Amino acid sequence: EPEVTQTPSHQVTQMGQEVILRCVPISNHLYFYWYRQILGQKVEFLVSFYNNEISEKSEIFDDQFSVERPDGSNFTLKIRSTKLEDSAMYFCASSPGPLGYGYTFGSGTRLTVV
Amino acid sequence: DAKTTQPNSMESNEEEPVHLPCNHSTISGTDYIHWYRQLPSQGPEYVIHGLTSNVNNRMASLAIAEDRKSSTLILHRATLRDAAVYYCILRPSYNTDKLIFGTGTRLQVFP
Protein backbone atom coordinates (compact mmCIF):
# COMPACT_ATOMS: atom_id res chain seq x y z
CA GLU A 1 0.00 0.00 0.00
CA PRO A 2 1.38 3.47 -0.87
CA GLU A 3 2.87 5.40 2.05
CA VAL A 4 3.74 8.94 3.02
CA THR A 5 7.40 8.95 4.02
CA GLN A 6 8.86 11.42 6.50
CA THR A 7 12.49 12.08 7.32
CA PRO A 8 14.16 12.26 9.73
CA SER A 9 12.18 10.28 12.27
CA HIS A 10 13.76 12.27 15.09
CA GLN A 11 15.50 15.65 14.97
CA VAL A 12 17.16 17.41 17.86
CA THR A 13 18.01 21.07 17.36
CA GLN A 14 19.15 24.01 19.43
CA MET A 15 16.78 26.88 20.08
CA GLY A 16 17.09 29.52 17.39
CA GLN A 17 18.30 27.11 14.72
CA GLU A 18 16.51 26.46 11.46
CA VAL A 19 15.09 23.01 10.76
CA ILE A 20 13.66 21.45 7.63
CA LEU A 21 11.33 18.50 7.93
CA ARG A 22 10.94 16.45 4.80
CA CYS A 23 8.05 14.45 3.41
CA VAL A 24 7.46 12.40 0.29
CA PRO A 25 3.70 12.29 -0.32
CA ILE A 26 1.96 9.57 -2.30
CA SER A 27 2.84 10.11 -5.94
CA ASN A 28 -0.59 10.74 -7.45
CA HIS A 29 -1.87 12.86 -4.58
CA LEU A 30 -2.44 16.55 -5.18
CA TYR A 31 -3.16 17.96 -1.72
CA PHE A 32 -0.55 18.15 1.00
CA TYR A 33 -0.72 19.00 4.68
CA TRP A 34 1.29 19.45 7.83
CA TYR A 35 -0.07 18.76 11.29
CA ARG A 36 1.65 18.67 14.64
CA GLN A 37 1.02 17.03 18.01
CA ILE A 38 2.64 18.29 21.17
CA LEU A 39 3.20 15.44 23.61
CA GLY A 40 -0.05 14.49 25.33
CA GLN A 41 -2.12 16.99 23.34
CA LYS A 42 -4.42 16.97 20.32
CA VAL A 43 -3.33 16.74 16.71
CA GLU A 44 -3.35 20.31 15.33
CA PHE A 45 -3.64 21.52 11.74
CA LEU A 46 -0.80 23.71 10.49
CA VAL A 47 -1.15 24.19 6.75
CA SER A 48 -2.62 22.82 3.54
CA PHE A 49 -0.97 23.14 0.15
CA TYR A 50 -2.35 22.68 -3.35
CA ASN A 51 -1.19 23.68 -6.80
CA ASN A 52 2.09 25.04 -5.43
CA GLU A 53 0.54 27.42 -2.99
CA ILE A 54 -0.82 27.49 0.54
CA SER A 55 -4.58 27.03 0.48
CA GLU A 56 -5.17 27.35 4.21
CA LYS A 57 -3.10 27.89 7.35
CA SER A 58 -3.74 28.00 11.06
CA GLU A 59 -2.78 30.65 13.60
CA ILE A 60 0.13 28.45 14.63
CA PHE A 61 1.62 28.76 11.15
CA ASP A 62 3.21 32.17 11.60
CA ASP A 63 6.10 33.84 9.77
CA GLN A 64 8.56 31.39 11.30
CA PHE A 65 7.03 28.56 9.28
CA SER A 66 7.15 27.97 5.55
CA VAL A 67 6.36 25.11 3.21
CA GLU A 68 7.75 24.23 -0.16
CA ARG A 69 7.40 21.62 -2.84
CA PRO A 70 10.87 21.99 -4.36
CA ASP A 71 10.46 19.21 -6.92
CA GLY A 72 7.81 16.77 -8.03
CA SER A 73 8.14 14.50 -5.04
CA ASN A 74 9.21 16.28 -1.85
CA PHE A 75 7.16 18.51 0.44
CA THR A 76 9.04 20.34 3.17
CA LEU A 77 8.23 22.26 6.33
CA LYS A 78 10.81 24.82 7.44
CA ILE A 79 10.93 26.42 10.85
CA ARG A 80 13.27 29.42 10.65
CA SER A 81 14.18 30.00 14.26
CA THR A 82 13.03 27.19 16.52
CA LYS A 83 11.60 27.78 19.96
CA LEU A 84 11.27 25.34 22.83
CA GLU A 85 7.51 25.25 22.27
CA ASP A 86 8.02 23.96 18.72
CA SER A 87 8.96 20.58 20.21
CA ALA A 88 6.33 18.17 18.92
CA MET A 89 5.59 15.36 16.49
CA TYR A 90 5.11 16.77 13.02
CA PHE A 91 2.94 14.78 10.64
CA CYS A 92 2.82 15.19 6.89
CA ALA A 93 -0.28 14.02 5.04
CA SER A 94 -1.49 13.85 1.48
CA SER A 95 -4.82 13.32 -0.25
CA PRO A 96 -5.87 12.65 -3.85
CA GLY A 97 -8.58 15.27 -3.65
CA PRO A 98 -10.23 17.70 -1.30
CA LEU A 99 -12.99 17.32 1.17
CA GLY A 100 -14.59 13.98 0.33
CA TYR A 101 -11.35 12.01 0.45
CA GLY A 102 -9.38 10.57 3.33
CA TYR A 103 -5.85 11.65 4.13
CA THR A 104 -2.83 9.39 4.32
CA PHE A 105 -0.53 10.46 7.15
CA GLY A 106 3.16 9.75 7.56
CA SER A 107 4.67 8.30 10.72
CA GLY A 108 5.92 11.69 11.80
CA THR A 109 9.12 13.49 12.73
CA ARG A 110 9.73 14.02 16.41
CA LEU A 111 11.29 17.47 16.78
CA THR A 112 13.04 18.22 20.04
CA VAL A 113 14.23 21.78 20.60
CA VAL A 114 16.80 22.14 23.39
CA ASP B 1 -16.24 24.47 13.41
CA ALA B 2 -18.73 21.65 13.93
CA LYS B 3 -18.11 19.73 17.14
CA THR B 4 -18.21 16.05 17.94
CA THR B 5 -18.59 14.30 21.29
CA GLN B 6 -17.04 10.92 21.98
CA PRO B 7 -16.55 8.86 25.14
CA ASN B 8 -13.04 9.24 26.55
CA SER B 9 -12.40 5.52 26.64
CA MET B 10 -13.89 2.12 25.84
CA GLU B 11 -12.82 -1.45 26.39
CA SER B 12 -13.32 -4.60 24.39
CA ASN B 13 -12.20 -8.18 24.37
CA GLU B 14 -10.37 -9.58 21.39
CA GLU B 15 -12.58 -10.98 18.61
CA GLU B 16 -15.67 -9.20 19.90
CA PRO B 17 -17.45 -6.44 17.97
CA VAL B 18 -16.87 -2.87 19.07
CA HIS B 19 -19.28 0.01 18.58
CA LEU B 20 -17.69 3.43 18.97
CA PRO B 21 -20.28 6.20 19.22
CA CYS B 22 -20.02 9.83 18.13
CA ASN B 23 -22.51 12.63 18.63
CA HIS B 24 -22.53 15.57 16.25
CA SER B 25 -25.80 17.36 16.86
CA THR B 26 -24.69 20.57 15.09
CA ILE B 27 -23.73 18.82 11.86
CA SER B 28 -24.64 20.70 8.70
CA GLY B 29 -26.08 19.12 5.59
CA THR B 30 -22.77 19.17 3.71
CA ASP B 31 -20.45 17.92 6.46
CA TYR B 32 -18.77 14.59 5.84
CA ILE B 33 -18.26 12.31 8.85
CA HIS B 34 -14.68 11.04 8.96
CA TRP B 35 -13.07 8.53 11.31
CA TYR B 36 -9.36 8.28 11.91
CA ARG B 37 -7.39 6.31 14.45
CA GLN B 38 -3.97 6.79 15.98
CA LEU B 39 -2.01 3.80 17.17
CA PRO B 40 0.62 4.42 19.86
CA SER B 41 3.60 6.42 18.55
CA GLN B 42 2.19 6.59 15.03
CA GLY B 43 0.50 9.12 12.80
CA PRO B 44 -3.27 9.20 12.38
CA GLU B 45 -4.66 6.57 10.04
CA TYR B 46 -7.77 7.01 7.89
CA VAL B 47 -10.48 4.50 8.74
CA ILE B 48 -13.68 5.43 6.92
CA HIS B 49 -15.92 8.31 5.98
CA GLY B 50 -19.51 8.90 4.90
CA LEU B 51 -22.12 11.54 4.24
CA THR B 52 -25.59 10.06 4.66
CA SER B 53 -25.58 6.34 3.90
CA ASN B 54 -23.92 3.60 5.91
CA VAL B 55 -20.49 2.65 4.58
CA ASN B 56 -18.38 -0.49 4.74
CA ASN B 57 -14.73 -1.05 3.95
CA ARG B 58 -12.11 -3.61 4.83
CA MET B 59 -11.34 -1.94 8.15
CA ALA B 60 -14.73 -1.07 9.57
CA SER B 61 -18.35 -0.06 9.03
CA LEU B 62 -19.87 3.35 9.59
CA ALA B 63 -23.49 3.58 10.64
CA ILE B 64 -25.00 7.05 10.30
CA ALA B 65 -28.23 7.97 12.05
CA GLU B 66 -31.10 9.06 9.83
CA ASP B 67 -30.98 12.61 11.20
CA ARG B 68 -27.14 12.56 10.93
CA LYS B 69 -26.77 13.85 14.48
CA SER B 70 -24.83 10.76 15.50
CA SER B 71 -22.78 7.97 13.99
CA THR B 72 -21.19 4.72 15.10
CA LEU B 73 -17.93 3.19 13.98
CA ILE B 74 -18.17 -0.59 14.05
CA LEU B 75 -15.16 -2.86 14.28
CA HIS B 76 -16.58 -6.28 13.57
CA ARG B 77 -13.94 -8.32 15.38
CA ALA B 78 -11.52 -6.39 17.52
CA THR B 79 -7.87 -7.44 17.48
CA LEU B 80 -5.05 -6.30 19.74
CA ARG B 81 -3.83 -4.17 16.85
CA ASP B 82 -7.06 -2.16 17.00
CA ALA B 83 -6.06 -0.63 20.34
CA ALA B 84 -5.79 3.05 19.47
CA VAL B 85 -7.38 6.46 19.87
CA TYR B 86 -10.34 6.80 17.50
CA TYR B 87 -11.30 10.24 16.25
CA CYS B 88 -14.68 11.21 14.81
CA ILE B 89 -14.24 14.37 12.73
CA LEU B 90 -16.68 16.47 10.74
CA ARG B 91 -15.22 17.71 7.51
CA PRO B 92 -17.10 20.49 5.71
CA SER B 93 -17.55 20.04 1.98
CA TYR B 94 -16.74 23.68 1.28
CA ASN B 95 -14.23 26.43 2.10
CA THR B 96 -11.94 24.44 4.37
CA ASP B 97 -9.90 21.30 3.95
CA LYS B 98 -8.50 20.91 7.45
CA LEU B 99 -9.26 18.16 9.94
CA ILE B 100 -10.00 19.31 13.47
CA PHE B 101 -9.04 16.57 15.89
CA GLY B 102 -10.68 16.28 19.29
CA THR B 103 -9.50 14.06 22.11
CA GLY B 104 -11.11 10.95 20.63
CA THR B 105 -11.96 7.61 22.26
CA ARG B 106 -9.13 5.49 23.58
CA LEU B 107 -9.99 1.87 22.81
CA GLN B 108 -8.38 -0.84 24.90
CA VAL B 109 -8.55 -4.41 23.62
CA PHE B 110 -7.94 -7.27 26.01
CA PRO B 111 -6.80 -10.76 24.99
pLDDT in tens, B89-106: 998 767 677 888 999 999
Instruction: Categorise residue B33: left if φ over 0, alpha if ψ from -120 to 50, beta otherwise.
Output: beta
A5 interface with B at CB cutoff 8 Å: no
Set of chain B residues whose Cβ sits within 8 Å of the Cβ of A43 = 38, 44, 87, 99, 101
CA distance B12 to chain A (A): 23
pLDDT in tens, B37-71: 999 989 999 999 999 999 999 999 999 999 999 99
Give the pLDDT of residue B1.
Answer: 58
Q: What confidence category does residue A17 fall into, taking pLDDT thresholds of 50, 70 and 90?
A: very high
CA distance A91 to chain B (A): 7
pLDDT in tens, A22-80: 999 999 899 999 999 999 999 999 999 998 999 999 999 999 999 999 887 899 999 99
